[in-house]
Structure 1
Amino acid sequence: MGLRQNLAWAILAIISYSSVFAAPQQSSNVERNIQDIFNTNPSLPPARGGFAEVVTPVPIGASNPLIDFTSISGKTSNCNCVPYYMCDPSTNSITEDGAFDGFGVIDIRFGDDDPVCPSSVDVCCAGNRTREQVLNPTPLEKRPNQPRGCGIRNVGGLDFTLPSTTQNEAGFGEFPWTVALLHANNFSYFCGGSLIHPQVVLTAVHCLLPHAPGSFLIRAGEWDAQTTRERLPYQEQTAKQIILHPQFNIRNVANDFALVILSQPFTLADHINVVCLPPQGASSTAGTTCFSTGWGKDVFGAAGKYSVIMKRVPLPVVDFNSCQSRLRSTRLGSRFALDRSFMCAGGQRGVDTCQGDGGAPLACPIGLSSDNRYQQSGIVAWGIGCNDEVPAAYANVALARDWIDQQMLGNGFDTSTYTA
């Protein structure tokens, strides 16, 4: 699974920074080796299978199911292929007032050569369980003892759980603060971000440098990029204003913090919510397992494929000095200096963020474990390759909290939305 926006200019900026400390011959070798790894053309369109693939909305209703559907494999027959929320999960699970909490386990079977139903959220439903109206689980705000406020993770997802997550798939609505940044002309995905206020998104400067406010959209509430049949639909807004951190350094990508003020606020819902932010100067404990979320590539470069379903990558926090030592053991060289505006996470082979998810949040648990509350400790910035045993660098949000607060207040927004 991948989640890191290794733009060519960003990597070359890091090379330039490290070359200040390196001998000329060492610098030349480092630059050549890094270019061999990261030589990509960021103007190329994303690989098929992600947001670059146009999705045509499918009307949802009783007039549209596949009646007496027989699966391609022939293992299942005499059923209606309908969205899960139009299939009674059992004959006695629905109370008179329609209140219930979810649909149990659903096998999304996405990407199988022999799918039972054509959409990831469709199920093969027996005729006596097929409903003509949408079944809506009890909204979270009406459930007893439900935590309120920012950063509430819907562990396992809303509505249903997945039987297995072999590709680190997130559940539907599990990380409701994660948003996608899409090119306005073709809806292709280019970066991630997080909602910190209904009308404000936190992302990375390096994602926004090539973009004017009217050139991209922000999508919240997305899960599967190849269907519009989720029970709760995504929402989209345009950008009204971009605010870049004044100390962003294009040479080493330091202070990679940016805010996007939206033209209109998102309507918060079960699957769309804000994340908490850490206090100024707070530090994340090494070894803490955090999650980075988004739709980035599985491997770097042209061979990589963008994710279709949102992924969640569990990543341990790595202390700053250990991270710098690991980076110095790479082609960056023994004199490479990691800027103090970064924190690090990861370092486990095969579990990493990757290309396509710059700006995506790294969220860490806080407070009581029963609350499932998270704060955004990092913003996906850069790293050496994908899926290697080298931690990735994340913009350290705790070092920008005061700046974020200043920008929010200066633009008339309440900072309490992201304060735990």
Structure 2
Amino acid sequence: MNKMFLLLCAGVIGMAIAAPSVPCGVPTVQPITNRIVGGQVARPGSWPWVVLLVDDLGYISGSGVMIDSHVILTSAQHFEGFGYNLFDLDLRLWRVYAGEYNISTTDPHEKYYHIKRVVIHPGYNITSLENDIALVITTQPIQLNDHTRPGCLPDPSTQAPVGSVCYLPGWGGTATTGNEEVMNQVDLPIVDDSICQTHFPDYLPNTELCAGYENQHKDWCWDDLGSPLMFKANNGAWVIQGLASSGGNCTTADEPSVFEDISMYTQWIRTTMEDAGYPYQY
């Protein structure tokens, strides 16, 4: 779906800075973790780090994941591709919706924020989609609460091994299998790199993750671009393992998909956040 987003009556942007005691990756509403055919509607507040990105024309661009009260991690494709680049966009008119659930209504916990700056990975390649990652810096701090809180960056001890089941939440199309107005989620297992190399000859195993199914009718859709692939670590916190980058086709849903492997970018993310004045806290 790529429909006009009309949430023009959202509340005034919150100015409160979150207390340091707010943990990353720990929702107050537990996500649904049973696996069914296709995706399913997510519980409100169960993925509180997922934000909705709306472009300067009022259309849904995709999703991102909050890692700080000022910093969103997402796909570089939102801002640069064939025929458009970061300098063409009027970022002043873009909106980041946190606490979002139902895009057809103004949710009780929903607030929108404006973008101050976008930092695209210097190695991003619009053809190969190598290093398809960007950081969005918001003008004002995102107000944290039970429905809006950060996700955790991974480290070597929290990498999801092959066979691990991850979850991708977002507002992408459901190919008529669900309610497209609310956040949905789909379970996607990590699979061996060789599977994606078979389906996608330009797959980059050093910086990308392969997750999903062959002929299982489960996949993400284009409006899920930049959505996080979440893995529950042994300590119970949800960790951002990947970002939806390419291969998402919920119409056929007969192939796995390609995600940026966030564990390979943690140093760049931390350094960039530090340089922007918002060091990673967790």
Query: What TM-score bracket applies, with the shorter chain setting the length?
Result: 0.7 to 0.9
Which residue is equivalent to 1:155? 30
Which residue is equivalent to 2:68? 197
Is 1:170–2:42 an aligned residue pair?
Answer: yes
Following superposition of structure 1 onto structure 2, how do residues 14-413 of structure 1 map, counting pairs within 5 Å? 46-47=2-3, 52-55=4-7, 149-153=23-27, 154-156=29-31, 168-186=40-58, 188-209=59-80, 210=84, 211-228=89-106, 230=107, 232-279=108-155, 283-299=159-175, 307-325=180-198, 327=199, 336-339=201-204, 340-348=206-214, 349-368=216-235, 371=236, 373-383=237-247, 385-386=249-250, 387-413=252-278
| 1:206 shift after superposition | 0.7
Which 4+ residue blocks in structure 1 deviate beyond 4 angstroms? Answer: 55-59, 164-167, 303-306
Q: 1:343 to 1:274 in 2, by over 3 A?
A: same
Deviations 1:304-349 (A, max 9, x none): 9982100111110112123313x15xxxxxxx24113210111152
Q: Which amino acid aligns with 1:346?
A: G
Distance, in Å, in 2 between the alignment partners of 1:165 and 1:385 is 16
Question: Is the Cα–Cα contact under 8 Å of residues 280 and 402 in structure 1 kept in the other structure?
Answer: no
Which residue is equivalent to 2:16? none
Question: Is the Cα–Cα contact under 8 Å of residues 226 and 244 in structure 2 kept in the other structure?
Answer: yes
Deviations 1:356-411 (A, max 9, x none): 1111111111023xx3x111010000106335231100011111100001101111
Distance, in Å, in 2 between the alignment partners of 1:342 and 1:281 is 18
What is the root-mean-square deviation in Å for CA atoms of aligned residues? 2.8
Greater mean deviation of Cα atoms: 380-389 or 173-182: 380-389
Extract unaligned runs of 5+ from structure 2. Answer: 12-20
Q: 1:165 to 1:225 in 2, by over 3 A?
A: farther
What TM-score does the superposition give when structure 1 sets the normalisation length? 0.57
* Identical amino acids, percent of aligned pairs: 26
Extract unaligned runs of 5+ from structure 1. Answer: 1-44, 60-146, 158-163, 329-335
Which structure has greater helix proportion?
Answer: 1
Q: 1:53 to 1:193 in 2, by over 3 A?
A: closer
